[in-house]
Every structure is written in structure tokens, then in C-alpha cells.
Amino acid sequence: MKETVIDKFVRMCYDGFLQGWHERNGGNLSYRLDEEDIKEVEKLFVKEARHIEMPMAFEDLKGKYFLVTGSGKYMRNVPLAPEKNIGIIRIDDTGNGYDILWGLEDGAKPTSELPTHLLNHQVRYKATCGNCKVVYHAHPANITALSYTIEADSKILSRILWQSETECAVVFPEGVGIVDWMVPGQVGIARATAKLIEKYSAVVWAFHGIFGTGFDFDEAFGLVHTIEKASEIYLKAKSAGIVRTITDSQLLELAEAFNVKLNPEFLEV
Ligand code: 13P
Ligand code: ZN
């Protein structure tokens, strides 16, 4: 049977839980629905939608539909009752509010990180010529642990990740951004993240977790998975004692073989 867009969204929530990235209500997910997706789900829409105002306007998202996880909801519970733990919202015609068209039952609200999700959608939409549809926030332990061992510097982080697993430079040739510690759930951290997500498909939040984006669920999940695995390898190698690593000329050989362009600001050759 065909997996619906809601099925795919639910599967990703639970996959993240199985990886151990979603303790308690940690992490959240959003997906921008296209015309075809909307046709698939519009039969579910309620007649009288709840309307909620937001602390800022999202000019470029007026009239856009998103599937989002609920605030305070546990990823492990999403498959048990999707209609209570996730929902579909439509950004209103002012861009400053939204209507809840399906789900988020019993008065639930979208994730507290909605400002970061929406701003990331707005910025990534432009950066990828409309291709980015998924924004994913998770709390993987190794990424978070790694953020305690370095300054909040995107070049330092990106080089560590590129050197920690051969595939990394191919998966994220532009590198990974990092935002220093800030209070989550606020417009300030959303703006700081959006500035970096314009250049990078993923941004780490120091001492907190990561935001990964992608064209579809596989791409966003795979990106976070790759960064988490590389972080784990780095921390293991560091605690065992690093005696050598992938060199910049090897990174360039890799880039040539896989036809990707590495961010030149992060190379030292
Ligand atoms: P929500 O439960 O509001 O999605 O918050 C979880 C989280 O990870 C905040 O950064
Ligand atoms: Zn979080």
C-alpha cells in the first residue's frame, strides 16, 4: 500500500526516537506540503480551524501548508496517535498567524521551535530553488557532546566532521554551521540559525542538538544520521588518541571523484 505523506512523517519521527535522538519531548519535525500532498490530505481538514498568531511574520510563507510535530509531544508516541501529536497548519494571508487544519487535537500547539522551522523553510526554499521541504530538529548525544569540545566555529566543526568519516565531505560539501548557546524556542535563535542555514544544510546548536534540512525525509534524516555518526567516530578517536587524519589533499581528491565543490573557506590548502 502507498505510504501517505502523513505515514512518511510519522515514520521519520519514530526512526529518530529509535536512534535515541528524542528523549522525552526533545526534537521536532516540519514538512512543507506541495500541491499533490495537499490533495492527499485535504479530506482530513476540519471545518472550523483554530487560529494562532505568531511573534513574527513569515512573508514568503503566506498560504503555505506544513505538517508539524506538537509542542511537548513525545516522538515515541507519534505512531500511536498521530492526530494528537502532530498536525497540519496553513500560514494565513498576513504571514503572521496560522490555522490548524488537522490534528494537534485537545488544544495542542505546534512545536515551540516553530519560528526556527518556518524561518529555515523560508531561507532554504530560496537557497535550494524551492527544493527543500523538510526541517528536522534532533538531540543526538554525540553531536551535542562534540559541541563541548570546540569553539562555536563552523570551520572548526566542518573540518572535524569531514575528517571523521570519508563520506562526510560528499554528503555536506558546504560544511555544517554552528550557533553558540542561546535560549531555545525564541525568535533570536531562529534568526541566528536562519543566517547559517542559508549556506549550510545543517546547523548545530551548541550544547543542545542539531537542525538538518532536506529535499525529502530520507535526505534530512540521512544528513543528521551522517553528522551524528561522524561525531561519534571523532569522539571515540579523540578519546583513544588521534595520530593522523584525512588530509586536505585527500578531501580534494574525494571532491573531484564525486564531483562536489568543497567550501573553499574551510580548506587549508
Ligand atoms: P517542543 O516539544 O516544543 O517541540 O520542544 C522540544 C525541543 O527540542 C526544544 O528545543
Ligand atoms: Zn531541542
Tell me the pLDDT tens digit for each residue of 68-86.
999 999 999 999 999 999 9
Q: Report how far residue 173's alpha carbon sits from residue 162's, in angstroms, rounded to the nearest whole number.
A: 8
- The whole-angstrom separation of Cα 99 and Cα 249 is 52
Cβ 68 vs Cβ 91: under 8 Å: no
Pocket test for ligand 1, best of 89, 114, 116, 137 (most atoms within 8 A of CB): 137
CB distance 26 to ligand 1 below 6 Å? yes
Q: Is the pLDDT of residue 241 over 90?
A: yes
**Mutation to probe ligand 1, out of 24, 52, 71 (largest number of atoms < 8 A from CB):** 71
pLDDT at residue 10, rounded to an integer: 98
111 close to ligand 1 (CB < 6 Angstrom) = yes
Counting from 1 in the atom list of ligand 1, the atom nearest the Cα of 137 is: 8
Question: What is the predicted pLDDT for the residue at 46?
Answer: 98
On the question of pLDDT at 53 being above 90, the answer is: yes
Q: What is the arrangement of strands in the sheet containing 202-205, beginning at the earlier edge strand? A: 50-53, 97-103, 86-91, 65-69, 28-32, 134-138, 209-214, 202-205, 177-179
Residue 163 has pLDDT above 90, yes or no: yes
Q: Which three cell numbers stand for residue 215?
A: 529535499
> Is the pLDDT assigned to residue 12 strictly greater than 90?
yes
**Measured from the CB, is residue 112 less than 6 Å from ligand 1?**
yes
Per-residue pLDDT reduced to its tens digit, 215-232: 999 999 999 999 999 999
Q: Catalytic amino acids?
A: 113
Is residue 27 lining ligand 1, measured as CB closer than 6 Å?
yes
Residue with cell 511573534: 55
* Residue 211 pLDDT: 98
Q: Which of 13, 24, 28, 78 to mutate to test the pocket of ligand 1 (most atoms within 8 A of CB)?
A: 28
pLDDT recorded at residue 95: 98
d(CA 249, CA 254): 9
Question: Which residue's alpha carbon is nearest to atom 4 within ligand 1?
Answer: 111
Mean pLDDT of 161-173: 98
Q: Measure 138 CA to ligand 2 centroid, in angstroms.
A: 6
Confidence of residue 63 (pLDDT cuts 50, 70, 90): very high
- Whole-number pLDDT of residue 106: 98
Q: Could you say which DSSP state residue 44 is in?
A: G
* b/e code 218-234 from CB counts within 10 Å (16+ = b): ebbbebbbbbbbbbbbb
Taking the centre of ligand 2 as the mean of its atom positions, its distance from the CA of residue 196, in whole angstroms, is 17
Does position 269 have pLDDT exceeding 90, yes or no?
no
Q: Which atom of ligand 1 is nearest to the CA of 25?
A: 2
Q: What would the mean pLDDT of 95-120 be, rounded to a whole number?
A: 98
Q: How far is CA 165 from the centre of its chain?
A: 21
pLDDT at 1: 84
* CB distance 144 to ligand 1 below 6 Å: no
Residues with C-beta atoms within 5 A of ion ligand 2: 209
Residue in 229, 116, 117, 239 with CA at minimum distance from that of residue 172: 229
Note whether 264 and 174 are within 8 A (CB). no
Q: List alpha helices for 147-268, DSSP H.
A: 154-164, 168-171, 187-197, 217-240, 248-258
Q: Which atom of ligand 1 is nearest to the CA of 73?
A: 2
Residue 227: per-residue pLDDT = 99
CA of 85 to the centre of ligand 1 (A): 13
Interatomic CA distance for residues 16 and 103, integer angstroms: 21
Residues composing the chain = 269
Averaged pLDDT, 188-202: 98
Distances, alpha carbon 98 to alpha carbons 49, 118, 131, in Å? 9, 11, 23
Calculate what percentage of the chain has a pLDDT beyond 70: 100
